[in-house]
Chains A and B, each alone.
Chain A
Amino acid sequence: MTRGAGFFRPYMAFSARRPTSRVDGDATARFRQTMLPHMDAAYNFARYLARDPVAAEDIVQEAFLSAFRSFGGWRGEGAKAWLLAIVKHVFLDWVRAHREGTQTSESEDLTPDPDTPESLLLQANETAMLRQTIAGLPEPFRETLVLRELEDLSYKENAVITAVPIGTVMSRLARAREMLSVLLLPDAEIQRKAQS
Chain B
Amino acid sequence: MTGCADKAMLLHALIDSELDAVNSVAIEAHLKTCAGCAAELRRLEQLRDLMTPNVRYTAPPSLHDKIVMGLTEAIMPTPKPQRRLAPWVAGGGLTALAASLLLLVMMPQLSATHLEDQVIDDHVRSLLANHLIDVATSDRHVVKPWFNGKIDFAPPVVDLADQGFPLAGGRLDYLDGKVVPALVYHRRAHSINVFVRPAHDMASPGNVATRRNGYSIVRWSHHGLECWAVSDIDLDELKMFRRDFEARIT
A contacts, CB < 8 Å to B? 6-7, 9-11, 13-18, 21, 24-25, 27-29, 31-33, 36, 39-40, 42-44, 47-48, 56-57, 60-61, 64-65, 68-69, 127, 130-131, 134, 148-151, 154-155, 170-171, 173-174, 177-178, 180-181, 184-185, 188, 191-192, 195
Contact = CB atoms under 8 A, between A and B. Distances in A.
A28 B64 CA distance: 15
B58 A69 contact: no
B57 A130 contact: no
Contacts of A36: 64, 67-68, 129
Contacts of B103: 10-11, 13-14
Nearest to B87: A13
A28 B54 contact: no
Q: Is the interface of B mostly helix, strand, loop or mixed?
A: helix
B12 A32 contact: no
B74 A68 contact: yes
B48 A14 contact: no
B18 to A, nearest CB: 5
A69 B74 contact: yes
Given A184-B47, A195-B2, A39 B55 contact: no
11 contacts: A15-B110, A24-B76, A39-B59, A43-B58, A44-B56, A68-B75, A127-B54, A170-B12, A177-B47, A181-B44, A195-B2
Given A43-B58, A69-B74, A130 B63 contact: no
A13 to B, nearest CB: 5
A28 B76 CA distance: 11
Contact of A170 (B13, B76, B111): B13
Q: Is the interface of A mostly helix, strand, loop or mixed?
A: helix
B51 A149 contact: yes
Contact of B79 (A17, A56, A171): A17
A90 B54 CA distance: 25
Interface string B59-90: 11001101110110011100101001100100
A25 B118 CA distance: 10
Nearest to A27: B75
B76 A21 contact: yes
A28 B47 contact: no
Interface string B127-144: 011010000000000000
Identify which of A9, A27, A130 gathers the most chain B CB atoms within 10 Å of its CB: A9
Contacts of A184: 47, 50
B9 A64 contact: no
6 A-B pairs with the lowest CB-CB distances in the bound complex, closest first: A10-B103, A43-B59, A149-B51, A47-B57, A44-B57, A24-B75
Interface stretch (B24-32, B94-102, B153-161): B94-102
A78 B16 CA distance: 18
B46 interface: yes
A13 B71 contact: no
Contact of B2 (A6, A47, A68, A192): A192
A184 B13 CA distance: 21
Contact of B121 (A25, A48, A155): A25
